[in-house]
Amino acid sequence: MSGSTDIQNFDTPGALLASMTDGFWHNLWFRAPAGTKNGEATDWMGMWLWWFCVAWFVVLMAIMFYFVIRYRRSRVGPVAPASSAHNTPIELAWTVIPSLFLVFMFFKGFWGYIDNIVAPAHATEIKVEAAKWSWRFIYPTGAESRSTKELGSAFQRVFYVPEGKPVQLRIKSADVMHALWIPDFRIKADALPNRYTTLWFESKPLPADAPKLNADVDPLIKTAAKEKFKFLDGVPYQDHWLFCAEYCGEAHSEMAATVRVVPADMYKKWLDAITDKSDLAPAEYGKTIYQAQCSSCHSVDEGKTNTGPNWTELWGNPSIPLAGGGTAVGDANYVRESVRDPAAKIHAGFPNSMTPFPAASLSDDQLEAIMAYMKYVSKFTTQEVKDEVMRVPATDAAPAK
């Protein structure tokens, strides 16, 4: 990955700050500047911690070595001179001052973490499934990538993502614990078999000297039927490693993938090219399941009440009122729990009368199709998201926020 000279992220310019996200010391630790702005913020904190540790360590060790030399026995004699066993002002100082630094670290870490897990509302959601020992990215149109690249000792999948647009990953595992780590973006989340975890990123603009795609990089450019991917030839791109970061068995170290950033319009064309339009769109499929199994209690028409909550106010709702007080966020985990174990959280004002749907009667794939349909009907999702899950062809109109 080429070094970036684009460091307009902070209000105070200067070589010193630049060295916190690029430059010799930074690249000694991180190889290259981060691929996202949030990643750069993480790097800033990382480098701040590095210099903090260096400063304290050097001071402590200098004092220690000075004392050892100055007060060595060959110089002092067999008996040490008198000295105090306490010094309350110093002891207070060296307790309070480090604590203040720790408070700073805690808050910076906390805010940076929140920035990394709360995606913008208009982020496109890509589902990730981890299984022994490979990754699947399932795009909002229901399609999956077919490109591969040799990484280590195996060929692994390549996932195209758009430059400069927020992408949310909703991650789960099909079997054991895995973890998704994109080192260049400085983000990581575990992949659990019973719960979704989420990450998001927005890639920085591609550098001016980014390499260009060709058939050596992605053979599908030449080999795909009907020259489906020919448009990719000559497109600038940047590849990032994606590693599994939770031990999962014999091929744990081979469980990798490549995240490939391309310009947003090329990404849209690529997404269109990989999507098999002869099959139902995710939201269409979800609609058929809804009609057969959910419509008797849940309405998708705004304003209509029924036995169960209305789905126009579900997906993406930041505060669903719960019976017994409190609220819940209408996210994938809430929906999954509501289907598998409805009694866990009851929507305020509605009865506790929904039958649970275990995996045997509603598979994970069907559940995710329902989620796609929920996105389609919800008043909290953007038009762009709705279009993706229903495979409405991309237009040149500006996307709604």
Partner 1 sequence: MTTVDTSKSGGAHGGHGGHGHHGSYLEPRSSFLATIWDWATTVDHKKIGVMYLFAVLFLFFVAGVLALMVRTELLTPVRFVDGKVVGQELFSLFYPGEEATSVNKGNTVYNRIFTLHGAIMVFMVIVPSIPSSLGNFFLPLMIGAKDVAFPKLNLLSWYIYVIGSLFGIAAITQGGVETGWTFYTPYSSNTDFGQVTLMVLAAFILGFSSILTGLNFVVTVHKLRAPGMGWFDMPLFVWATYATAIIQVLATPVIGITLLLLCLERVFKIGIFDPALGGDPVLYQHFFWFYSHPVVYVMILPGMGIISDVLAVQSRKHIFGYKAIAFSSLGIAAVSFLVWGHHMFTSMGEIASVVFSGLTFLVAIPTAVKVFNWISTLYKGTIALNTPMLYVLIFLFLFSIGGLTGLPLATMSTDMHLHDTYFVVAHFHYVMMGGTIMALMAGLHHWWPKMFGRMYNEFGGMVGAILVFVGFNVTFFTQFFLGTQGMPRRYASYVTEFQTLHQISTVGSFILLLGFLVHLFVFIHSLMAGAKAPKNPWGGLTLEWVADSPPETHNFPHEPLVKNGPYDFESTVPPHWDPKDYPLENAGAHKH
Site string for partner 1, 10-39 (x = CB under 8 A): ------------------xxxx--------
Give min distance, CB of 260 to partner 1, in A: 16
Residues 135-154 within binding reach of partner 1 (CB under 8 A)? 151-154
Q: Which stretch binds partner 1 (CB under 8 A): 137-145, 162-170, 248-256, 286-294?
A: 248-256
Upper half-sphere CA count for residue 25 (Cβ side, 13 Å): 16
Q: What is the CA radius of gyration of the chain?
A: 27
Residues 317-346 within binding reach of partner 1 (CB under 8 A)? none
Give min distance, CB of 70 to partner 1, in A: 9
Give min distance, CB of 304 to partner 1, in A: 33
Contact 306, 298 (CB under 8 A): yes
Give min distance, CB of 173 to partner 1, in A: 9
Residues 155-184 within binding reach of partner 1 (CB under 8 A)? 175-177, 179, 181, 183-184
Q: Identify the CA nearest to 296 among candidates 217, 334, 353.
A: 353
Query: How far apart, in whole angstroms, are the C-alpha atoms of residue 395 and residue 155?
Result: 35
Give min distance, CB of 67 to partner 1, in A: 4
Q: Which stretch binds partner 1 (CB under 8 A): 188-196, 229-237, 314-322, 371-379?
A: 188-196
Angle at which helix 282-289 crosses helix 364-377, to 10 degrees, equals 100
Residues 105-124 within binding reach of partner 1 (CB under 8 A)? 105-106, 108-117
Contact 289, 361 (CB under 8 A): no
Residues 374-393 within binding reach of partner 1 (CB under 8 A)? none
Query: How far apart, in whole angstroms, are the C-alpha atoms of residue 302 and residue 221?
Result: 45
Q: How many other CB atoms are found less than 10 A from the CB of residue 342?
A: 17
Single out the residue of 169, 213, 248, 300 in contact with partner 1 (rule: CB under 8 A).
248
Q: Identify the CA nearest to 371 among candidates 337, 400, 340, 331.
A: 331
Angle of CA points 211, 213, 214, to nearest 5°: 125
Residues 194-213 within binding reach of partner 1 (CB under 8 A)? 194-195, 197
Q: Which residue has the tokens 């070595």?
A: 65
Residues 34-93 within binding reach of partner 1 (CB under 8 A)? 41-42, 45-46, 49, 52-53, 56-57, 60-61, 63-64, 67-68, 71-73, 76-83, 85-87, 91
Residue type, 371: M
Site string for partner 1, 223-242 (x = CB under 8 A): ------------------x-
Give min distance, CB of 225 to partner 1, in A: 29
Paired strand residues for 144? 138
- Closer CB to partner 1, residue 115 or residue 233? 115
Query: How far apart, in whole angstroms, are the C-alpha atoms of residue 385 and residue 283?
Result: 11
- Closer CB to partner 1, residue 3 or residue 67? 67
- Look up residue 381 and give its DSSP letter: S
Residues 301-320 within binding reach of partner 1 (CB under 8 A)? none
Token pair belonging to 33: 């500047």
Paired strand residues for 126? 169
